[in-house]
């Protein structure tokens, strides 16, 4: 079922007609998929939440899988449209740019449309490889480029000192990605919620401290203390 090869002709099936009905279905589906995952979300639940009958969903979407893909694509629209042009016109401080990066990422990802999507894609990555690839190619690479742009901005202004641009960008991008996943998987169940704004500030600050530190760091030679860490030998 999953990943059947005969979808070549509907590559853009998620560009659904702009009527109200499919929007409601998409909205309902997004919420349910994000909350419960693909398999656990039943088409009947989506229909009920959207205020339509199950059959109606199949008027707009070929099947549940197509609906799922449409949900992801629709949710990623805002992100895909988020251009990195702004970097070309940005003239502020490198430090401030980091704070903007973290807070804007959060604002973007937690906008009503795509909140929870990163977690959802993460969860279903193995079952929807093509969707995952789309997500990686479009969203993650896009995000990484923006981070790279930020780093280059700081490097150019001699504010940032980066040994390995690719991996540094990945580290930062992953940190940003992680927080959105965490928020939807764990924080909602935590006894005391994370203060996101504070977290984002600290994250930017953490980034800045690292990037503005001009001293290169090499891994020390491995010493005998490594064994101290490895206590696995006494596990069954």
Partner DNA sequence: TATGAATGAGTCTTCATTCAT
Partner DNA sequence: GATGAATGAAGACTCATTCAT
**Cβ contacts of 133 within 8 Å, gap of 6 or more:** none
Cβ neighbours, 10 Å, residue 92: 10
Give yes or no for residue 36 binding a second copy (CB under 8 A). Answer: yes
- Nearer Cβ to a second copy (10/83): 83
Minimum CB–partner distance for residue 120 and DNA (Å): 15
As a whole number of Å, the CA-based R_g of the chain is: 21
Minimum CB–partner distance for residue 124 and DNA (Å): 14
B/e letters for 7-45, b = 16+ CB within 10 Å, e = fewer, are: eeeeeebbebeeeebbebbbbbbbbbbbeeebeebebee
- Nearer Cβ to DNA (14/99): 14
Interface map 112-131 toward a second copy (x if CB under 8 A): -x-----x-xxxxxxx-x--
Number of residues that bind DNA (CB under 7 A): 31
Interface map 16-45 toward DNA (x if CB under 7 A): x-xx-x-------------------xxxx-
Residue 54 interacts, among a second copy, DNA, none and using kind-specific CB cut-offs from 5 to 8 Å, with: DNA
Minimum CB–partner distance for residue 225 and a second copy (Å): 4
Q: Which of 35, 36, 54, 141 binds DNA (CB under 7 A)?
A: 54
Minimum CB–partner distance for residue 95 and a second copy (Å): 6
């Amino acid at each position: 079922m999953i990943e059947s090869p005969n979808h070549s002709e509907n590559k853009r099936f998620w560009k659904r007609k702009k009527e109200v009905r499919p929007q409601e279905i998409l909205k309902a589906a997004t919420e349910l998929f994000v909350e419960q995952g693909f398999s656990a979300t039943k088409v009947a639940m989506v229909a009920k939440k959207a205020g339509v009958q199950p059959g109606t969903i199949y008027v707009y979407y070929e099947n549940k899988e197509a609906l799922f893909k449409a949900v992801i694509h629709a949710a990623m629209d805002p992100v895909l449209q988020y251009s990195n042009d702004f970097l070309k016109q940005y003239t502020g401080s490198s430090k401030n740019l980091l704070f903007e990066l973290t807070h804007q990422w959060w604002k973007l990802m937690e906008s009503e449309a795509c909140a929870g999507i990163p977690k959802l894609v993460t969860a279903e990555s193995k079952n929807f490889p093509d969707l995952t690839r789309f997500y990686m190619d479009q969203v993650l690479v896009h995000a990484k480029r923006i981070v790279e742009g930020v780093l280059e901005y700081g490097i150019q202004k001699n504010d940032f000192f980066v040994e390995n641009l690719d991996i540094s960008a990945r580290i930062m991008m992953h940190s940003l990605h992680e927080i959105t996943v965490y928020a939807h998987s764990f924080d909602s169940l935590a006894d005391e919620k994370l203060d996101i704004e504070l977290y984002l500030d600290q994250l930017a600050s953490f980034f800045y401290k690292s990037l503005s530190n001009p001293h290169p760091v090499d891994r020390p030679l491995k010493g005998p203390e490594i064994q101290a860490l490895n206590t696995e030998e006494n596990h069954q």
